[in-house]
Amino acid sequence: RDVFPAWSDPNLKALCAQVRSHAFIAHVRASTGTAISRNNCHPFTYGRYSFVHNGQVGGYDGFRKTADMMIEESYYPHRKGATDSEALFLIALGEGLEADPVGAMARAVAQLEALARRSGVLPFMRFSAALCDGERLYAFRYASDENAPTLYNRWSESRKGWAIVSEPLVDGEGGWHAQEAGTVAIFVGTKVSFERFAPECSSD
């Protein structure tokens, strides 16, 4: 996690030579308004969970305090930055993320989308995200309009693993499958399943 690009990080090569894992998450952040700082860099973590988000919550700066108040008190000490993404993750933890990852994420997204709708600032919700507990990876694609951020997956036979990305890694490379909006893909080992992901938002 850093404010500088990976290729300029002198520690990256040394870290890559030492770290071994069957699951990695990487994120390149383009700020939608909050400050560029290490605390605002993804992934956001708690216990065994790592979370990254590509998208935005409309009008977030206008209701940031209200969003923060939705974070359960026991999780609030983990609030280090000022992004909508971190708030969403911590709200989801309070909604029961550890017992019901998909349902908790849907409830958290619905709460912030409701605030965005009341603010009247478009787009209300753009949500492409990944959540990993070290064994399972959940890839979400959703938006309040027709413009959900893109999400693709591809099985690599040579690496015996999945890649889940916002954009195909190489132009013109075959084998990438676009994930349908309003779904969550659940990856466990070599298997993948899909479920509907439709947060129920109220603007009242």
Q: Which CATH architecture has domain 22-144+182-196?
A: 4-Layer Sandwich (3.60)
Q: Which residue has the tokens 């309070």?
A: 94
pTM, two decimal places:
0.91
CA angle, 102 then 28 then 80, to 5°? 70
Least confident of 38-42, 77-81, 118-122, 183-187: 38-42
Other beta carbons within 10 Å of 186? 17
pLDDT above 70 for 185: yes
Q: Give the pLDDT score at 32.
A: 65
Break the chain down into helix, strand, coil percent, rounded to 5: 25, 25, 50
Burial class (CB in 10 A: 0-12, 13-18, 19+), 161: middle
